[in-house]
Amino acid sequence: MSNELFQHPHRRYNPLTGEWLLVSPHRTARPWQGQQERPAPEQRPTHDPSCYLCPGVTRANGAVNPDYSSTYVFTNDFAALYPNTPDNTYSHGLLQAQSEQGTCRVICFAPRHDLTLAEMEVGAIEHVVVCWTEQLRDLGGRADINYVEIFENRGAAMGASNPHPHGQIWANATVPTLVAQELHQQRMYWEQHGQPLLSDYLQTELAQQERLVVVNEDWVALVPFWAVWPFETLVLPRRQVQSLDQLRARERRTLAECLQALLIRYDNLFTTSFPYTMGWHNAPTDDGDYSYHTLHAHFYPPLLRSATVRKFMVGYEMLAQAQRDITAEAAAERLRSLPAEHWKTTQA
């Protein structure tokens, strides 16, 4: 950006959360002698009999996976939430607690152990999108569920306990804190301007074209102006919808195309299987009016300088406010300029 402000340390406002972050554009020049990540192995078998997510394998609880050929969903054997948790509360002045009901599921994206979403065909990714949609409808239709969080932790650097291509669903009786925060900000903007916040924001991004990474007829993947993680992206629909289950058939297909194009660029950035946490923010499923909410997905990848050097959220970030070392514009330019073909394909 030409404005001199953005060439020096400055703060940026995140309208989705109401928070500010510090941007220090030249801080990547500092020497690094800290921890370095171990890149993910580039060669894995197509089927691993010791992997609890592969077809036909017996899981830790004794259940046997079917010989599935597309996506496969099951209730998490070590779920963080249970549907039958007894109702209870605790209140003692500032000390407040209440029970929480829900359920957790695992989605195996594909039967092949050696794939990631970035390496899957568009049709296979579309199957994942359809599965996300079906799970949202199924869980969101339950009276005891009011919010469905669909997410993926990709890679050991982001806490994935298994390299098999998979994601998770945590369905809550209550709306989680960060989602509620975004909903509040979007509702306030709607009341003041009569338009969805993220719809207006997308029009600004399309006009400026400085932070766009992938654009097709139905979807945009961009580095948000207020991004915290080095190569963080936001995926937005060009048509105003609140949830995945409102997508048309073509939009599911073009979403798969958008995701593939984005994830290939992630992998190409440092020629590695790029780690990230990704999650969809759908509207709550409590039958409320969420016209002000726009469906979107967040991608939070940790890598900063290379396949081995990551961004740590510590010190100032934990005690004061979020901070990043490269501008959102510089990150978008790097991602946008990368080849659309996966680096493994070009080296084959």
For 241-292, how does the pLDDT look when each residue is reduced to its tens digit (9 = 90+)?
999 999 999 999 999 999 999 999 999 999 999 999 999 999 999 999 999 9
pTM for the model stands at 0.94
Judge contact between 129 and 70, C-beta under 8 A.
no
Q: Calculate the average pLDDT of the chain.
A: 93
Question: CB-hemisphere CA count at 13 Å for 166?
Answer: 25
Output 290 or 42, whichever has higher pLDDT: 290
Q: Looking at the predicted structure, is the pLDDT value of residue 34 above 70?
A: no
166 is catalytic: yes
Kindly state the helix (H) or strand (E) to which residue 197 belongs, with its residue range: helix 197-208
Per-residue model confidence (pLDDT) at position 26: 72
Architecture per CATH, domain 43-84+99-339, reads as 2-Layer Sandwich (3.30)
What are the residues whose beta carbons fall under 8 Å from the beta carbon of 112, sequence distance 6 or more? 46, 47, 165
> Per the residue annotation, which of 166, 281, 293, 342 is the catalytic one?
166
What pLDDT is attached to residue 28? 61
Residue 112: what pLDDT? 97
Contact in structure between 260 and 125 (CB atoms under 8 Å): yes
**Residue 29: what pLDDT?**
53
Q: Tell me: pLDDT of 38 over 60.
A: no
| Total number of residues shown for the chain | 348
- Residue 142, CA atoms < 13 Å, CB-side half-sphere: 17
Of the candidates 139, 2, 136, 32, which has an alpha carbon nearest to the alpha carbon of residue 83?
139
Within 13 Å and on the Cβ side, how many CA atoms surround 262? 34
Q: Which of 75-84, 203-212, 304-313 has the lowest mean pLDDT?
A: 304-313
Q: What is the CA radius of gyration of the chain?
A: 21
| Res. 5: pLDDT tops 90 | no
Neighbours of 320 (CB within 10 A): 9
Q: How far apart are CA 84 and CA 199, in angstroms?
A: 39
Percent of the chain with pLDDT over 90: 85
Decide if 219 contacts 240 (C-beta within 8 A).
Answer: no
Mean pLDDT for 129-135 is 98
In a 13 Å sphere around the CA of 112, the CA atoms on its Cβ side amount to 12
Q: How confident is the model at residue 2 (pLDDT cuts 50, 70, 90)?
A: low
Structure tokens at 155: 């890679």
Q: Residue written as tokens 């919808």?
A: 241
pLDDT at position 32 is 41
Which residue is associated with the tokens 């969080």? 149
Give the mean model confidence (pLDDT) for residues 190-201.
Answer: 98
